[in-house]
Amino acid sequence: MIGKASSIKVVHITRYSYDGKGGFDGAINRWLSENAEVEVLDIKFSSSATQEDTYEDALIIYKPAQ
């Protein structure tokens, strides 16, 4: 068990890119830097693509700082 539901928060980060150069890791790292005091429990990642586009999603599951 990772904790009571009332103590767990999530943030969804998504990027769309038509050229495959979306800088997705930068968006995740920026959020982590801006929220350095939280306890990250897990990060879920998903990616999908069409012939023209790339979509990337991350769900960061965390506990806010006390």
Our count of domains for the chain comes to 1
Q: Where are the beta strands (DSSP E) in the chain?
A: 9-17, 39-49, 54-63
Q: What's residue 45's pLDDT?
A: 96
- For residue 7, give the 3-state DSSP assignment: helix
Q: What's residue 21's pLDDT?
A: 62
Tens-digit pLDDT profile for residues 2-56: 678 889 999 999 988 766 565 788 889 999 999 999 999 999 999 998 888 888 9
What's the domain range around 9? 5-63
In this prediction the pTM is 0.83
